[in-house]
Chains A and B, each alone.
Chain A
């Protein structure tokens, strides 16, 4: 039988997932000593780890070339399409927030506001829910710059502690745009065709997650 393929988001989520898999008893030496390789066997070889960028994890899972994936809820909200989201892994916690320049009232005035963000879909959905017309500007790097330079009225971005915002004179206008953490996602056909194998792995990961919290 083909090994079960799980795509991990490179970086912190990958490290946290590996830790979780190791405490669940899978040998992850190959991933720890990966070098430049991107497909690595773990445990007894019945599972293969694929390392990819966040949005690519979704693409690989959706097309069925990977059975499972670990990816942040932020990426799912921005690129989410059709797959199953089967487990909240609990790590990689942060939240989406709307932030603007200190001392200005974001909701005042008649003109449509301009929002700078790395997440145009999330931003559009958030304001659609409020029935507010806005203009979205996509920024790739430090979004905080846009209101400081006068390009945007506010930003929608991921916030962990809020210290970057404070240091740049920005304040959170709305905090509950959405809570975020890492999720285990599954291809819809894989979940049906390899149910036992996937559920066994998901159950192990869930048990370990509960122990860690």
Chain B
């Protein structure tokens, strides 16, 4: 058990002393994961909603695809994005491999199917309840889209948090496309992987504890924001 008590003590010390390197790592983790999941949210939520309210050929296939991609292995996503962004790859001229931007793209890609699948599920229910009313008002489905998204905003928030949860906990993709460069692309999870490989197991676990605390704070804050925005407590 001494490993765990060591880790708890180290985590406490790191938080109390605001270790500058750890602070940088925490900030980068938050920035990358929040931006990545927000990108996923912006892309995924209209798609998920549209899948719920429109009927078009290929819709079923898209829904199946989104659900299947929930289990997308991060390491595969990382590898694919690596090959795309590599200087020898099609998007190499952007020069963004091994930068935080590449990590954001990876997390957006991983988060999008989660948002699509969750939003679709919830919007199907919302549409069943409110869809007729919205259309009776004379609106087209396109005009109804923002309204139904507004009605189902609780669900949208859940989807965003799910994407964020995946992003902040993810290591396989971002370690490939970010390169785990100190003070530049090193996040909580890649730092944990590194410290483990250095045999600094309690320190690695301490970072893990901070990561969990951080996730709790973010989801707590999101809940407050969501409740304030929707006026529903």
Q: Do A and B bind each other?
A: no
